[in-house]
Amino acid sequence: MESAPSPKRFGKKPSKSKNCADLHEEQGAVKKHARKTTRQPGPDLRGMRVCLGCREHFLREDLIRVVCDPEGHLLIDRSLKAPGRGAHLCYSQACIEEALKHKAFGRTFKQNIAPMTAQVFRELVIEAIEGRIRDALAIGRRMGQTVSGTDVLERNFSKLCGLVLSTEASASTKEKLEHLAGLNQCPVWRFGENESLGQSQGKAARVAIGITNAALAKRLALEFMRRDRLSVAT
């Protein structure tokens, strides 16, 4: 007796190779989508500068800007506006020493640099900072943001945001003015001689200058912090 024929299957059996191709295509699409969705944008470094010492990025105004003359002498650009190529450093003793030790300025400016010690470099930076402080005090006077003279300071102590006290101030004057500043909880900075403070205010001499503008006081606080940080290392 003959066996019954097996029933026929209708339709075509899917090709194994086609299934693999579809699978690979799907996996590729998933990976591509994952790359698009998980990729995070990097930090926005526009307008940033790199410190030659620590190699970190900072805003341009937060760094020392250094330029170089044709003879290879390094100069501090205190206004941050000198033409030509510039190099940048943190207001840090360690970064200054690192840049000088590894000849980073020579590579940046692509020329031989005149020898300079870290101490001399720091002194140039401090000189530039103090120049900016004098400029700020002079601008503050023209803008009506400062008061000077012991009597005037006593009458206006409630308006003070900061007090610049001459290094030549007597012990009694220093104590009196620091007491007034303390009543208003404003910082006191020792800076300059009587004559130089007077010149910044268009006067012959001044023992102290009161800062009555918060933005100017903040700017001066930053400059004094930079100066003191480098002065300790000198």
pLDDT digits (tens, 9 = 90+) for 97-153: 999 999 999 999 999 999 999 999 999 999 999 999 999 999 999 999 999 988 999
pLDDT of 173 strictly over 90: yes
What confidence score (pLDDT) does residue 3 get? Answer: 54
Helices 214-233 and 93-101: angle between axes, nearest 10 degrees:
50
Buried b (16+ CB within 10 A) or exposed e, 105-139: beebbeeebeeeebeebbebbbebbbebbeebbee
CA atoms within 13 A on the CB side of 33: 6
| Strand 162-165 with 208-211, pairing | antiparallel
What confidence score (pLDDT) does residue 25 get? Answer: 63
Give the predicted TM-score (pTM) of the model.
0.79
Task: Using a pLDDT cut of 70, give the percent of the chain over it.
Answer: 79
Task: Tell me what the mean pLDDT of segment 71-83 comes to.
Answer: 95
CA–CA distance, 201 with 199 (Å, rounded to integer): 5
DSSP state of 103: T
Domain ranges of the chain: 48-116, 122-233
Q: Which CATH class is domain 48-116?
A: alpha beta
What confidence score (pLDDT) does residue 29 get? Answer: 60
pLDDT of 12 strictly over 60: no
What confidence score (pLDDT) does residue 42 get? Answer: 57
Does residue 88 contact residue 49 with C-beta atoms inside 8 Å?
yes
Identify the three-state secondary structure at position 226: helix
Tell me which amino acid residue 234 is.
Answer: T
pLDDT band for 43, please (50, 70, 90 cuts).
low
What confidence score (pLDDT) does residue 10 get? Answer: 47
Of residues 142, 52, 133, the one with CA closest to residue 99: 52
**pLDDT averaged over every residue in the chain:** 87
pLDDT of 159 strictly over 80: yes
Best CATH choice for the domain 122-233 from the list 3.30.1330.30, 1.10.3290.10, 1.10.287.540, 1.25.40.10: 3.30.1330.30
pLDDT of 30 strictly over 60: no
Do the domains at 48-116 and 122-233 have one common CATH topology? no
